[in-house]
Amino acid sequence: MGFLQIQFIKLLAILVIIASSKSSLSTTPPNFTIARPNCINRCGNLSIPYPFGTTPDCYQSYGFFVTCNHTFNPPQAFIQNSSIEISDISLDGQLKALQFIAHDCYNQNGTRVSYNDPWIDLPISLTVNNTANKFTIIGCDTYGFIFGRRLDRNYSTGCTAICDAKDDLIAGSCAGLGCCQTSIPKQVWRVGLSLWSYENYSNVWSFDNCSYAFLVEESAFTFSPENLTNLRSVEKLPMVVDWAIGNGTCEEAQMNASSYACKSVNSRCYKPDNGYGYRCSCLEGYQGNPYLLRGCQDVDECEDPRLNICEKRCVNTMGGFHCACPKGYYGDGRKGGQGCIRGESLAFKLAAGISLGIIVLLLIAYWLHLELKRRRQTKMRQMFFLQNGGMLLQEKISRKERSSDTTTIFSEFELQKATNNFDNNMIIGKGGFGIVYKGFLPDNRIVAIKKSKEVDQNQIEQFINEVIILSQINHRNVVKLLGCCLETQVPLLVYEFINNGTLFEHIHNKAKARFLSWETRLKIAADTANVLAYLHSAASMPIVHRDVKSANILLDHTLTAKVSDFGASRLVPSDQTQLSTLVHGTLGYLDPEYMLTNQLTEKSDVYSFGVVLVELLTGKKVLSFDRPEEERGLANLFLSVMKEDRLFEILEENVMREGNKKQLMKVAMVAKNCLHLKGDERPCMKEVEMEIAGLMMGEKHPWVPTGHDEEVKGSLLEGGFSGAINVGEDNSTSIGFYAKDHVMLPIGGGR
Ligand SMILES: *[C@@H]1O[C@H](CO)[C@@H](O)[C@H](O)[C@H]1NC(C)=O
Ligand SMILES: *[C@@H]1O[C@H](CO)[C@@H](O)[C@H](O)[C@H]1NC(C)=O
Ligand SMILES: *[C@@H]1O[C@H](CO)[C@@H](O)[C@H](O)[C@H]1NC(C)=O
Ligand SMILES: *[C@@H]1O[C@H](CO)[C@@H](O)[C@H](O)[C@H]1NC(C)=O
Ligand SMILES: *[C@@H]1O[C@H](CO)[C@@H](O)[C@H](O)[C@H]1NC(C)=O
Ligand SMILES: *[C@@H]1O[C@H](CO)[C@@H](O)[C@H](O)[C@H]1NC(C)=O
Ligand SMILES: *[C@@H]1O[C@H](CO)[C@@H](O)[C@H](O)[C@H]1NC(C)=O
Ligand SMILES: *[C@@H]1O[C@H](CO)[C@@H](O)[C@H](O)[C@H]1NC(C)=O
Ligand SMILES: *[C@@H]1O[C@H](CO)[C@@H](O)[C@H](O)[C@H]1NC(C)=O
Ligand SMILES: *[C@@H]1O[C@H](CO)[C@@H](O)[C@H](O)[C@H]1NC(C)=O
Ligand SMILES: *[C@@H]1O[C@H](CO)[C@@H](O)[C@H](O)[C@H]1NC(C)=O
Ligand SMILES: *[C@@H]1O[C@H](CO)[C@@H](O)[C@H](O)[C@H]1NC(C)=O
């Protein structure tokens, strides 16, 4: 498109030039005065410029006197009162004078029948131009001389023209065969011609009976064999005469201002080639007659395209011109289309160019910055991946192919996309271990993404093990770990999304609590106990959850418990029964023994579970500052109530209404055992689980014996029942049974 536009503009420019040149060619030639005021400036066709003139007032000196003879038609001009006719006068210092031809003719018997030897005297201001003119002799039996005066001395030179036959003659060649030419000296003002014959034409008369001699402007005469005869009818031929003012130098002439001939402003003086006198000329850019006062006029070069090189707009100035670019174009107009640049100005162009350059540079810099950032980020991701034990995890996952389809390593990008770049609106929970976001995976799965707090470098191995173990758990009451992301500084864990809130909400929100029946509560307790029992006895290394609380037990739409938040969980190596860690957990649920000793055991979870159990029974807050100081902690309140045998005063309404008092009492006893101050005294989770499971069975199946421990223990064991375990030592009451004909839930039954 741009290219076409440029071509179109060029075409237009060409058309404009053609049009303007046509119009300027049609204008009349320059019109300026050449003669003095009131002087005749013409004679017939001849224009007579000053210093020449036809009357004394009109010529500069007598040397420039011109006679115009009006008896001729058209009138003819002559130098002074001579017979030298002038055919042209030029202000360049030359004129053309017509000179008579000398001839010499013979008859058959060798007698001269016709002869003339003309001569001319030029006035002091005129000399014959020695380079433009040639002395020429035509004939086949002749020689001739040109002679006269140059300055104040004589001169003479000659030429011989001979030929034997007419076909010796060569057209255009004056090398002596029928035609001879020679140069003349400088500064000649008197010219005489004479002709002679060697043999009186006796030998050549048959084809040539005349010879001729003349001084002629070289370019005006070309020899032809016919000229041997046809020149007889020609009277005069032109010769070039130079003219100049005076006989001194420019410097001499300028000393006398009144006689100095270069009268015009914008004129100058120069010496002719022959060094005789001086001449005047207009300065460049001016034209006219430099010998007149206001003779040199400015030349409007713009009128004549031959005088200017402007392609577009030409502006005439005194003595010159300049080329301008069309409106809207800037630059050097003399270069035409290429020189003119479209635009506000060159500075604007420059500024635009520079700013464009800067913008490009900035863009490149910005791109480099982004690229570096991206690389740095990639490097960081790789570093974090390694730091977070990615290789270890990958290795382990690849080794255990079975688990690889349940646990995925997500990329940071995937999770950013899933959480709308960790938008605050996606936060569904905040806890001691980090923030939980809701996320949407591309396969429409809804997930919970936990952004953990920074991981202690030396616990990475454990973290990885945890991830591995959790990914293997696949317990139906444990929130499923779908995967993790290790590319971020803090690892991100991706869980299945449980949609019905926490147990905490369901207990403590009055509206929700109404729908939480005793049966459901018991089932939640059983499920939770099952999970903890499973964790504590799991695989190679028991896992201590460390943060069992109602807020960490999620409920799905069927109010089935899903234990979550293993962020604080610790593996307890099997050769150790306790682990020394910083105390971690939630006030109210925290095992007082652990708090004192920093020694973490599975029994800490048992304590916390006891608190949850009490929470389920009473529906009371775990910590309440409304209560008296010693009863602020729910555990303390519960224990004191139990001591005073006032259990039924603090039970939740629903529980109270729906629950079997005996059964409630037994659950309360389990809780009480769990809340034993000494960890060793607490039952283990497996025992608790079985006991609660047993109580549930008892509820559904009243036939299950609930009698005295000692009674049933032996018989049941003998009868092939499994899993009956005595829990308590002090007033031990709880025993769980699994009848043979009932499905026994295996430990970690979901696996
Ligand atoms: C030339 O100039 C004279 C006066 O200076 C004027 O009268 C005459 O019309 C001009 N001729 C042309 C063709 O311009
Ligand atoms: C001189 O003028 C006449 C008419 O006035 C013209 O026919 C002739 O060609 C002109 N001669 C020259 C040399 O200009
Ligand atoms: C003009 O020319 C004619 C014929 O050549 C001549 O008789 C006459 O004297 C001339 N007139 C002048 C003024 O020179
Ligand atoms: C021309 O005039 C001058 C004087 O003005 C005179 O001496 C000379 O003889 C004249 N020549 C001719 C050819 O009339
Ligand atoms: C010279 O020869 C030409 C023709 O060639 C003739 O017309 C002329 O009369 C001759 N002149 C003389 C003097 O014989
Ligand atoms: C030459 O010829 C002319 C006529 O053409 C004649 O008058 C003359 O006497 C002749 N002369 C000689 C010497 O033959
Ligand atoms: C120059 O030539 C003329 C004749 O043309 C002669 O009278 C004169 O003496 C010559 N002068 C010199 C210096 O030769
Ligand atoms: C040529 O003619 C002249 C007289 O006209 C004569 O004196 C001369 O001897 C002649 N020369 C020749 C070579 O015939
Ligand atoms: C010389 O002869 C040629 C050819 O006929 C002719 O055109 C020319 O005008 C002649 N030269 C002169 C000066 O008469
Ligand atoms: C120049 O011309 C003057 C008269 O116009 C004359 O007196 C003088 O001698 C000349 N000088 C030369 C070098 O010809
Ligand atoms: C200058 O020239 C004028 C006229 O040509 C003349 O009358 C005068 O004497 C000259 N002056 C000088 C200083 O040569
Ligand atoms: C003689 O004529 C030629 C060609 O026109 C020119 O270049 C030269 O300047 C002339 N000589 C003088 C002294 O004017």
Ligand 6 atom closest to 111 (CA)? 1
Token pair of 719, please? 């009868």
Query: Does the residue 82 lie in any domain?
Result: no
451 annotated as a binding-site residue:
yes
Residue 741 CB coordination number (10 Å): 5
36 in any annotated domain: no
Atom 12 of ligand 6, nearest CA residue: 109
Q: Which residues contact 612 (CB under 8 A, 6 or more apart)?
A: 503, 525, 528, 548, 549, 550, 553, 589
Does any domain span residue 381? no
Q: Give a yes or no: residue 722 inside a domain.
A: yes
Find the residues whose C-beta lies inside 6 A of ligand 6. Answer: 107, 109, 111
Residues 61 and 345 sit within 8 Å (Cβ to Cβ): no
Q: Which amino acid type is present at position 518? A: W
728 vs 645, more confident: 645
pLDDT for 12 equals 43
In a domain, 347, yes or no: yes
Total domains present in the chain: 5
Q: Which ligand is nearest to the CA of 200?
A: 8
**Ligand 2 contact, 45 CB (< 6 A):** yes
Tell me, what DSSP letter sits at residue 283?
P
Burial class (CB in 10 A: 0-12, 13-18, 19+), 630: exposed
Find the domain containing 277 and state its range: 245-298
Which of 24, 204, 202, 191 is CA-nearest to residue 97? 191
User: CA–CA separation, 292 vs 89, rounded Å?
Assistant: 16
Higher pLDDT, residue 393 or 656: 656
Over the stretch 247-258, which tens digit does the pLDDT of each residue have? Answer: 888 999 999 888
SS3 664: helix
271 band by pLDDT with thresholds 50, 70 and 90: very high
Q: Which two tokens stand for residue 160?
A: 């011989």
Final residue in a domain of this structure, among 243, 278, 311:
243
Task: Report residue 547 as tokens.
Answer: 């943060």
Are 193 and 305 part of one and the same domain?
A: no
68: part of which helix (H) or strand (E)? strand 66-69
C-alpha distances in Å from residue 745, one per residue of 364, 653, 667, 723, 734:
67, 31, 20, 10, 18
Q: Which two tokens stand for residue 372?
A: 């570096």
List 495's β-bridge partners, or say none.
448, 481
Residue range 158-171, pLDDT digits in tens: 999 999 998 889 99
**Ligand 1 within 6 A of 29 CB?**
no
Ligand 4 centroid–CA 84 distance in Å is: 13
Joined together, the tokens standing for residue 188 give: 């000649």
Q: Which ligand sits closest to the CA of 223?
A: 9
* More reliable by pLDDT, 469 or 138: 138
Residues lining ligand 3, CB < 6 A?
67, 69, 71
Active-site residues, by number, are 547
Domain shared by 472 and 542, yes or no: no
Q: Give the ligand 9 atom nearest the CA of 216.
A: 13
d(CA 477, CA 150): 139
**First and final C-alpha spacing in the chain:** 73
Domain co-membership, 238 together with 306: no
* H/E run at residue 603: helix 602-618
Does one domain contain both 287 and 419? Answer: no
Please tell me the distance from the alpha carbon of residue 533 to that of residue 733, in angstroms, as a whole number.
20
Which residue's CA is minimally distant from atom 8 of ligand 8?
200
Residue given tokens 């005047």 in the structure block: 280
Residue 292 lies in a domain: yes
Helices (H), 231-339: 250-255
pLDDT score of 465: 63
CB-count exposure of residue 646 (10 Å: 0-12, 13-18, 19+): exposed
Same domain, yes or no: 489 and 632: no
CA distance 501 to 511: 14
As to burial, measured by CB atoms within 10 angstroms (0-12 exposed, 13-18 middle, 19+ buried), residue 526 is: buried
Which of 107, 111, 205 maximizes ligand 6 atoms within 8 Å of its Cβ, making it the mutation to test the pocket? 111
Minimum-distance ligand to the CA of 238?
A: 9
CB of 695 closer than 8 Å to CB of 521:
no
107 lines ligand 8 (CB under 6 A): no
Over the stretch 327-340, which tens digit does the pLDDT of each residue have? 666 655 554 445 56
- The verdict on the CB of residue 81 being under 6 Å from ligand 4 is yes
Closest-CA residue to 487 (of 539, 410, 556): 410
Average pLDDT for 586-593: 86
Q: How far is CA 405 from CA 420, 432, 540, in A?
A: 25, 30, 22
Give the pLDDT confidence score for residue 381 in this predicted structure.
78
For residue 23, the model assigns a pLDDT of 37
**Other beta carbons within 10 Å of 109:** 8
Mutational test site, ligand 4, from 81, 83, 120, max ligand atoms within 8 Å of CB: 81
Residue 56 in contact with ligand 4 by CB distance below 6 A: no
**Residue whose CA is at the smallest distance from ligand 8 atom 10:** 200
Quick one: pLDDT at residue 238? Answer: 95
For residue range 83-137, what is the model confidence (pLDDT) as tens digits? 899 999 999 999 999 999 999 999 988 889 999 999 999 988 899 999 999 999 9
Give the other-Cβ count within 10 Å of 364's Cβ: 10
Instruction: Tell me the per-residue pLDDT of 425-472, one tens digit each, with 9 for 90 and over.
Output: 888 877 666 788 889 888 888 888 887 766 666 556 666 666 766 766
Residues 641 and 563 in one domain: yes
Question: 540 C-alpha vs ligand 1 centroid, how far in Å?
Answer: 125
Q: CA angle at residue 169 from 168 to 171, to 5 degrees?
A: 145
Determine the Cα–Cα distance for residues 343 and 385; give it in Å rounded to an integer: 57
Among 496, 519, 550, the domain-final residue is 496
Q: How many A from CA of 276 to the centre of ligand 11?
A: 20
Q: In sequence order, which residues have a C-beta less than 8 Å from that of residue 493 and are 6 or more positions away? A: 449, 450, 452, 467, 481, 483, 484, 567
CA 217 from centre of chain: 71
Among 104, 112, 200, the mutation site with the greatest number of ligand 8 atoms within 8 A of its Cβ is 200
Q: Regarding predicted confidence, which is higher, 373 or 334?
A: 373
Report the nearest-CA residue for atom 4 of ligand 4: 81
Report CA(16)–ligand 1 centroid distance (Å): 28
Q: Give per-residue pLDDT as tens, 168-205.
A: 899 999 998 999 999 999 889 999 999 999 988 988 98
DSSP label at residue 421: T
Question: Within a domain: residue 518?
Answer: yes
Contacts of 665 (CB under 8 A, 6+ apart): 647
pLDDT at residue 492, as a whole number: 80
pLDDT, one tens digit per residue, over 537-570 is: 875 677 788 888 888 899 998 889 998 877 666 6
Q: No. of H helices and E strands in the chain? A: 19, 37
Higher pLDDT, 215 or 751: 215
pLDDT-derived band at 1, boundaries 50, 70, 90: very low
Q: Could you tell me if residue 386 is inside a domain? A: no
Q: How far apart are CA 323 and CA 313, in angstroms?
A: 6
Same domain, 251 and 315: no
Q: Angle CA(254)–CA(257)–CA(260) in degrees, nearest 5?
A: 60
Task: Give the mutation target among 208, 226, 232, 234 for probing the ligand 9 site: most ligand atoms within 8 A of CB.
Answer: 226
- Report the CATH number that the domain containing residue 430 is assigned in CATH: 3.30.200.20
Structure tokens at 256: 């006398």
Confidence (pLDDT) at 469: 67
Q: Would you say 709 and 685 are in contact if contact means Cβ atoms under 8 Å apart?
A: no
Structure-token pair, residue 728: 């308590």
Residues 540 and 650 in one domain: yes
CB 618 within 8 A of CB 634: yes
Same-domain status, 139 and 172: yes
What is the Å distance from ligand 9's center to 235 Cα? 12
- Whole-number Å distance between alpha carbons of 341 and 305: 22
Nearest residue (by CA) to ligand 2, atom 9, is 45
Tell me: do 293 and 317 sit in the same domain.
Answer: no
- Ligand 1 centroid–CA 574 distance in Å is 128
Neighbours of 543 (CB within 10 A): 24
Ligand nearest to the CA of residue 87, numbered in listed order: 2
Closest residue to atom 8 of ligand 4, CA basis = 81
Q: Whose CA is nearest to atom 12 of ligand 5?
A: 107
Read off the pLDDT band of 623 (50, 70, 90): confident
C-alpha closest to that of 314 among 323, 306, 305, 304: 323
Q: Order of strands across the sheet with 179-182?
A: 112-116, 102-106, 210-217, 133-138, 179-182
Residue 325 shares a structural domain with residue 225: no
Q: Which of 434, 463, 496 is the last residue of a domain?
A: 496
Query: Is 113 touching ligand 5 by the criterion CB < 6 Å?
Result: yes
CB 483 within 8 A of CB 407: yes
Q: Could you tell me the CA-to-CA distances from 335 to 22, 314, 323, 340, 342 in Å, in that order?
A: 22, 12, 9, 7, 14
Separation CA 600–CA 578 (nearest Å): 5
Average pLDDT of the residues in 737-745:
32
CA distances in angstroms from 542 to 402, 470, 675, listed in the order given: 21, 12, 21
Q: What percent of the chain has pLDDT over 90?
A: 29
Among the residues of 474-579, which ranges form H helices? 503-508, 510-513, 518-536
Higher pLDDT: 70 or 23? It is 70
Determine the Cα–Cα distance for residues 643 and 386; give it in Å rounded to an integer: 55
User: Is there a single domain that holds both residue 12 and residue 140?
Assistant: no
